[in-house]
């Protein structure tokens, strides 16, 4: 490991595509199963009014448990909800636009795929974290970029801004990402495609095994 003592890797939950029906109860169970740093609200193809309606109960569940509530893609929805932050892709606006809209305390994350250049640009622009991936094949979304674990180690050696690893991460394969330097593991399918409580506990056991 490097000379700087890193904080233990934390979980960053991303919502499944469907968050209606019984999902709020599932989210509460997942967050109660073990520490989670943040929850990202990621829904596609909904108008903002409907997205806000679905987000509100989830935002309350997160707020009650001191879990950061992050909106994916939409700076305007994040502002409408008074969310803790926004996660933007390369086509969703700039860090500066997000900062101006959401204020200096907002958590702003940027998707950087497998690009060192994008990550450096995001850091210089004032992002609070950068996200690299996908590290493994995933069924959650179409993968155009595959990242190597060396990217995490490189980032940790140069920058203090946290990095998030995303893409196909499971309890079985997360250890090498933790060891390489991921500050956060962004997980979705590995939690929501089965028993969310068992999955959260399995992630924590796997992370502890390589950080003890």
Digit-coded pLDDT (tens) for 88-144: 998 999 999 999 999 999 999 999 999 999 999 999 999 999 999 999 988 767 777
Residue 1 pLDDT level (bands cut at 50, 70, 90): very low
Take residue 86 and report the two structure tokens written for it. 């926004």
What is this structure's pTM? 0.95
| pLDDT attached to residue 4 | 54
Per-residue tokens: 178: 């933790």
Question: Counting Cβ atoms within 10 Å, is residue 157 exposed (0-12), middle (13-18) or buried (19+)?
Answer: exposed
Question: Which superfamily, per CATH, for 10-211?
Answer: Aldolase class I (3.20.20.70)
Say if strands 10-14 and 38-41 run parallel, antiparallel, or are unpaired.
parallel
- pLDDT, tens digit (0-9, with 9 covering 90-100), for 150-192: 999 999 999 999 999 999 999 999 999 999 999 999 999 999 9
Beta-carbon contacts of residue 65 (< 8 Å; ≥ 6 apart) = 31, 32, 36
Domain boundaries, the chain: 10-211
Give the position of tokens 């593991």.
185
CA distance 188 to 80: 24
């Amino acid at each position: 490991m490097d000379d700087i003592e890193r904080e233990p890797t934390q979980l960053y939950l991303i919502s499944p595509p469907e968050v209606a029906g019984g999902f709020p109860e599932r989210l509460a169970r997942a967050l109660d199963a073990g520490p989670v740093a943040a929850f990202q609200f990621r829904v596609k193809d909904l108008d903002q009014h409907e997205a806000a309606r679905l987000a509100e109960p989830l935002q309350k569940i997160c707020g009650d448990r001191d879990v950061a509530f992050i909106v994916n893609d939409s700076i305007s929805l994040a502002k409408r909800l008074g969310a803790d932050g926004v996660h933007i892709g390369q086509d969703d606006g700039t860090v500066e636009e997000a900062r101006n809209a959401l204020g200096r305390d907002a958590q702003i994350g940027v998707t950087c795929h497998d690009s060192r250049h994008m990550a450096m640009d995001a850091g210089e622009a004032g992002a609070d974290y950068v996200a690299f991936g996908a590290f493994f094949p995933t069924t959650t979304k179409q993968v155009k970029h595959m990242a190597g674990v060396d990217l995490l180690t490189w980032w940790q050696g140069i920058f203090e801004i946290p990095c998030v690893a995303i893409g196909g991460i499971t309890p079985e394969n997360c250890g090498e990402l933790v060891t390489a330097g991921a500050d956060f593991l962004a997980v979705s399918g590995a939690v929501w495609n089965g028993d969310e409580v068992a999955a959260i506990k399995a992630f924590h056991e796997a992370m502890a095994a390589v950080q003890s």
